[in-house]
């Protein structure tokens, strides 16, 4: 009899599609399978060809099932792309019970009321994140259940996207004969994977530099307050190198990975005047490391300008005590943290997945890590009758992550 696989997460990225299968182990989360394959049918984080993307996912699912000996039936998946948006919203309802005690039904009603925001054509809401509840004018309430009041309000952030792209993502999973547990915006998944609870409380921005997009997620007082996606990433850096050095894209990627740097002054200090790097291809090719750093720095600064613009929009430019957490495959570039500090004028750190084994200690796995943690948060994914060593799975896994979840 095939053993039950508890957590299955798929990260559909611009460059790679990644699959992770996890379960509870003796010392925390155990990764049973961790696979990836080059993306197909995906452009800048958006699924544009569900059939082609489904073929790649099917291949990963088959390999994972061979490795684990289990059957994968349910998955949690990210959704990316610059079509994603966040909006502030407000809902208001009257408390329904005669004794004026706020019930769960009242909370559900006020959250539903907050979804009535003005949306553009072909846009839909993916999720809603309450920032605070207000009971009879009293603000700052996190959980109003069982409080007494006449009027219940909520201030929230709604996150949504372009309906056809959302539909493509759902169709991709359907074509793989899988049940979709949840569809999580990429910026949020990445943030869940790398943030500490204290950072979310103080105020923090997560900048995830992927291949085709850069994702921004901002938290304060444990609440999501803003989300944005920019249509540029580390692949743009590779393209810039290829154009400026007049070389093919594969060689440009090799040069970026091996010799890339985000600060030209650091490159200048390490090089003698006019020193060049030589690479043996079919012909010997040489280039200045200083020029390479200038190319990379220009594109990274452009990304940081977009981040700064979004922070200014919400009044948080240079006003986040926990600073900026940099993650994603593009965050592997040397001196990225130093450039971020210099340009954004905030404390910065590199964000690796928190609470996972060593094979997950990679910046490119932050989205997968967040998806797994998001699954852990969902009580409905672990029915009470499922037990492991005499304990309910959900209760046991929640205990493991008590330091990582708000």
Task: Express each pLDDT in 26-74 by its tens digit.
Answer: 777 889 999 999 999 999 999 999 999 999 999 999 999 999 888 899 9
Whether the pTM exceeds 0.85: the reply is yes
Alpha carbons 243 and 186: distance in angstroms, whole number: 29
Domains of the chain: 7-82+164-192+353-400 (3.30.420.40), 85-163 (3.30.1490.110), 196-352 (3.30.420.40)
For 302, residues 6+ apart whose C-beta sits below 8 A from its C-beta are 232
| Cβ 255 vs Cβ 292: under 8 Å | yes
Per-residue pLDDT, 267 = 62
Residue 156: strand pairing partners: 89, 130
Alpha carbons 251 and 77: distance in angstroms, whole number: 32
- In order, the DSSP letters of 9-56 are EEEE-SSEEEEEEEEEETTEEEEEEEEEEE--SEETTEES-HHHHHHH
pLDDT 10s digits, 81-116? 999 999 999 999 999 999 999 999 999 999 999 998
Report whether pLDDT(273) > 50: no
């Amino acid at each position: 009899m095939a053993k039950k696989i508890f957590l299955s997460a798929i990260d559909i990225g611009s460059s790679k599609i990644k699959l992770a299968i996890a379960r509870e182990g003796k010392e925390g989360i155990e990764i049973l399978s961790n696979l990836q394959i080059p993306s197909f049918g995906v452009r800048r984080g958006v699924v544009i060809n569900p059939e082609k993307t489904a073929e790649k996912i099917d291949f990963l699912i088959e390999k994972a099932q061979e490795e684990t000996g289990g059957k994968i039936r349910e998955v949690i998946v990210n959704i990316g792309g610059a079509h994603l948006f966040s909006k502030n919203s407000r809902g208001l309802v009257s408390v329904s019970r005669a004794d004026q005690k706020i019930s769960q039904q009242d909370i559900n009603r006020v959250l539903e009321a907050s979804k009535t925001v003005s949306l553009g054509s072909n846009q839909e809401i993916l999720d809603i994140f309450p920032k605070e509840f207000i009971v009879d004018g009293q603000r700052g309430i996190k959980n109003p259940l069982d409080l007494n009041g006449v009027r219940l309000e909520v201030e929230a952030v709604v996150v949504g996207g372009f309906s056809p792209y959302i539909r493509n993502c759902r169709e991709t999973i359907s074509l793989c004969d899988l049940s979709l547990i949840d569809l999580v915006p990429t910026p949020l998944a990445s943030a869940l994977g790398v943030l500490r609870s204290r950072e979310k409380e103080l105020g923090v921005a997560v900048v995830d530099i992927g291949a085709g997009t850069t994702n921004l997620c901002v938290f304060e007082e444990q609440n999501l307050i803003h989300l944005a996606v920019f249509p540029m990433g580390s692949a743009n850096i590779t393209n810039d190198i290829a154009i400026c050095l007049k070389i093919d894209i594969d060689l440009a990627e090799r040069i970026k990975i091996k010799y890339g740097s985000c600060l030209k002054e650091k490159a200048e200090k390490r090089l003698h005047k006019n020193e060049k790097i030589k690479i043996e291809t079919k012909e010997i090719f040489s280039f200045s490391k200083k020029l390479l750093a200038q190319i990379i720095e220009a594109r990274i600064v452009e990304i940081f300008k977009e981040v700064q613009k979004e922070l200014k929009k919400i009044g948080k430019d240079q006003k986040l005590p926990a600073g900026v957490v940099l993650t994603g495959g593009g965050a592997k570039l040397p001196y990225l943290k130093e450039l971020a500090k210099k340009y954004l004028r905030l404390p910065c750190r590199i964000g690796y997945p928190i609470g996972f084994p060593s094979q997950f200690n990679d910046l490119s796995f932050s989205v997968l890590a967040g998806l797994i943690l998001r699954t852990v948060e969902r009580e409905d994914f672990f029915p009470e009758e499922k037990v492991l060593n005499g304990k309910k799975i959900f209760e046991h896994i929640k205990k493991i992550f008590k330091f990582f979840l708000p």
